[in-house]
Structures are given as C-alpha cells and as structure tokens.
Amino acid sequence: MSSAARVPKAVSEGRRSFRRGLWRLADPKISLASMAGIFLGASAAARGGPLAPGWLVLTVAGIFAIEVAKNASGEIFDFDSGADLAVRQEERTPFSGGKRVLVDGLLTRGQTKAIAWAGYVLGAAAGIAIALFREPAVLLFGAAGVALAFFYHAPPARLSYRGWGEAAVAATYGPLIVLGTEIVQRGRPSVPALLASLPLGLMIAAFLWVNELPDRRADESAGKRTIVVRLGARRAARMFPAIVAAAFVFQALLPWLARVPGTALGMLGLPPAVAAALVLDGGRAGTARVASAQALTLVSFLILAVAGGIGFFLV
C-alpha cells in the first residue's frame, strides 16, 4: 500500500497553505540550534581579530538554507517510510513528531521536494561562493554538512534509521558548524573553538534524544531504529542525565582545557538541563511532561552556546 493510501482522508485533503508549510519547514525554534553554533564559532573567531560581517551573513544564510532543505527532504523520506503517519495525535509535541507538512496536507509532495532542492542548491551556492572568494578550506566542512543533512533520512545511509542519527546531529551542530564558522572568519580552526564545540554537540544530541521519546513507538513501527528505539523509553530516559552530565562536566573543565576563563559562563545552562532530567522522571513522564523536558533541554543548549560564546570576549 502506498504512503498516500495510508493517509486518513480528512488529513490528506487538509487545507493547502504554502506559507504555513514553509514556516513549519523553517521551524525557527529548531533553527536556533544552528544559529547558536554559528554564534559560538563567530565568538571564538572574534578573539583573533575583527569579524567580516558580510561573510558571516552568507554563512548564516547558507546554513539556514540547508536546515530548511534537510527538514523538507526528511519529510518526504519519513512520510514514505510511514514514520510520520504512525505518530498519534496524543504523541505529538511542538518539538517532535515531524513537521507534518505532508500528513497535515499543508504542502504537496512536489512543493516539498521543490523546497528541498531549492534549499540544498542555495546552501551549496553559499558554500561555493565562500570557498572561491574567501576560504577554500570551508568547502570540506560544507560538503560534510550537506551530506549529513541529506543522508540523515535518505538512502542508502539513512543515518537516523540505523542508529547513527544522534552522532550525526552531535557532529553537525557541534564541531562542523562551530569550526566551519570560525574557518570562514579566520581561515583556520582553533583548539579552543573545537573544545567548546564538544559540550555543545553533546547537548544537541541530548535534545534529539528527548525528542525521540514520544516518537519511539511510531519510529519502531516504521523500522526507524534510533538509539532510543533500541534502548526502550525507560532506559533511554534514564540515560538522558548521563548525556547532560557529560556535557556539563566537559564545560566545567573548558576554562582550563581551552585556556579561556570566560567560557565558564556556559555553566549557566546547567539548571534547565537538570530540570529537564527531573521532569522526565526516569521515563515515567507523559507526553506533556516530555514536551516540557524538550523545551528545557533546548533552553539549556541555547544558554550554553550564547553564554559560552560571550565568555570568549571576557579574556
């Protein structure tokens, strides 16, 4: 049976709205994750001299375009696998369950595919322009970012379906974005930026981890073998505090490891992370409480990035 045939009639004939569909794919609350990494990378770069604002704007635009493209192409693959179709209404949260532009009938398949193509082309164009006229070394980082974004859902890699999605997200939103941004500005990566990107990567992995909890049943039914699916909800929820602890232990050591004392400010992100772990209650929390934990984890990630980034100026 085709994916289209499995969509309830009332849903598949939902009211089309290109504007609302595009807004969901852009998803500003999630795109904040990539912008936070850019901020941290730019802050690290600013230690070495003035920033080049035009190239920073192009970096932001290119990464945002890839973000939208990844969401759009992911919608198609998760729709075809049945993962998005299997999510029940009571399992949905503002942070999980997919963007649902196809399931809710906001966009056609053709529109979603066109947005994906446009985003990848614009993102690639920005990266090529930076490589040609600013810094060739960024091309490798850009190519890796595009590959991880597309193959997160797409065959043959299907990283999120094979239990590699969490590692791919940690690598992308941590070292790739942070160091890529610094390279655009300074021409080379620095050890302090690399070290600062690691707890950031762990915290975005924690955010993905908690987002996968409400989707676990639907993902499993569609053959999407995330680590959360493999562990089960209870064990996965109990591992969440360990991921958070690893991130903030590393962040606490960062002022000495990176020799940038101001990065201690990143520890301001710890309270909402602890609150998220308490809200999860070892896997016994319902969907509404999991949604609260998701929001708290995102807040923790953003504070870690912004406060840690500001710390680079306080040398």
Per residue in 12-58, pLDDT (tens digit) is 445 789 999 999 999 888 788 999 999 999 999 999 999 999 999 99
Q: State the pLDDT confidence band at 315, using cuts at 50, 70 and 90.
A: low
Mind spelling out the 3-state secondary structure of 106-139?
CCCHHHHHHHHHHHHHHHHHHHHHHHHHCCCCHH
Q: Is the torsion defined by CA of 223, 290, 112, 149 positive or negative?
A: negative
The pair of structure tokens assigned to 181 is 């941004």
Cα–Cα distance list, 245 to 273, 291, 307 (Å):
9, 20, 18
> How big is the CA angle at 12 (ends 8 and 18), to the nearest 5 degrees?
155
Q: What is the pLDDT of residue 1?
A: 43
Second-level CATH architecture of 3-311: Orthogonal Bundle (1.10)
Asked if 208 contacts 74 with a C-beta cutoff of 8 angstroms, the reply is no
Per residue in 213-245, pLDDT (tens digit) is 999 999 999 999 999 999 998 999 999 999 999
The pair of structure tokens assigned to 111 is 């529109």
Break the chain into its structural domains and give their ranges: 3-311
CA–CA dist 128, 116 (Å, integer): 18
Mean pLDDT for all residues in the chain = 93
